[in-house]
Amino acid sequence: MSSMPDGRAIEVRGLSLTYAGRPPVVALDGVDLVVAPGEFAVLLGPSGCGKSTLLRALAGLVRPTAGEALASSVAYMPQRDLLLPWRRVLGNATFAAELAGVPPAEARGRARALLGRFGLEGFERAWPAQLSGGMRQRLALLRTFLAPRDTLLLDEPFGALDAITRREMQGWLQGVLAEESRTVLLVTHDIEEALTLADTVYVMSPRPGRIVDRVEVSLTRPRDATTLTSPEFTALKAHLLRALEGPTRNR
């Protein structure tokens, strides 16, 4: 797994971003965070706090007003799956790899080898419209995994799914990453999802987005229904709730 020279997969230093307008909108204000190679980090915060903007800055899609957003070899998955309706499952799976210069035959071979692990075996020739919501998200993640990148930026990948499918997908993602190790920075506003998946949770304030807490999650893996009812999980959840509410609301 490649990383930046100092051994960090992601480093954000003093990142601020203001959108021009009347008045200007300050989306991010002095954000600092570090993610190590192989770490699963989560950005947790309320809607509109700049979480997605931070991912887009790391992906090089927006330019910061100040500070730096550094990441090694990233693949970015936005909130919507953005599957191409005119390409079948296999064609969608290989799209990002082909764009990155991977020969099509090599990309298809790699995709076929992973279809079973991503719950898509037997659907190679299906169209996106024939897939369930969970299958579409797995396909979008497969497309992201197949890009020759070590760091995954995932923007609420399960946000549009129902609660049962979402829980299944969280368990599935844990299993995939146990076999296909990557550095991950995932955005969510769901505390339980953050604690189910993360090694480290960064809590963001309402806009303008700032990092107000960093919480290490040492719960054993895999994290299942038993984990969600443990005293350790309950204590971490309470801590994150307090961090999200902020000092003003806790008075």
Distance CA 92, CA 114 (A): 13
pLDDT at position 160, please? 75
Secondary element (H or E) of residue 236: helix 231-249
Q: How sure is the predictor about 4, in pLDDT bands with cuts at 50, 70 and 90?
A: low
pLDDT surpasses 50 at 251: no
Output 228 or 103, whichever has higher pLDDT: 103
**Overall average pLDDT of the 211-234 stretch:** 90
pLDDT at position 249, please? 46
**Overall average pLDDT of the 129-156 stretch:** 91
40-52+79-203+217-249: CATH class: alpha beta
Q: How sure is the predictor about 2, in pLDDT bands with cuts at 50, 70 and 90?
A: very low
For the segment 111-133, what is each residue's pLDDT rounded down to a tens digit?
999 898 888 999 999 999 999 98
Domain residue extents for the chain: 40-52+79-203+217-249
Distance CA 104, CA 91 (A): 10
pLDDT surpasses 80 at 3: no
Distance CA 19, CA 238 (A): 34
Q: What mean pLDDT is reported for the chain?
A: 90
Q: Which residues pair with 166 in a beta bridge?
A: none
Q: How sure is the predictor about 43, in pLDDT bands with cuts at 50, 70 and 90?
A: very high
Report residue 10: phi and psi, to 5°. Answer: -135, 135
CA distances from residue 27 to 22, 23, 144, 225 in whole angstroms, order as listed: 14, 12, 26, 36
pTM beyond 0.85: yes
For the segment 195-217, what is each residue's pLDDT rounded down to a tens digit?
999 999 999 999 899 999 999 99
- The answer to whether 146 and 93 are in contact (CB under 8 A) is yes
Secondary-structure breakdown of the chain: helix, strand, coil percentages, each rounded to the nearest 5: 40, 25, 40
pLDDT surpasses 60 at 140: yes
DSSP states of 131-188: S-HHHHHHHHHHHHHHSS-SEEEEESTTTTS-HHHHHHHHHHHHHHHHHS--EEEEEE
pLDDT at position 119, please? 87
Write the burial class of residue 152 (CB in 10 Å: 0-12 exposed, 13-18 middle, 19+ buried).
buried
pLDDT at position 226, please? 84
pLDDT surpasses 60 at 163: yes
Percent with pLDDT over 70 in the chain: 96
- The answer to whether 217 and 187 are in contact (CB under 8 A) is no
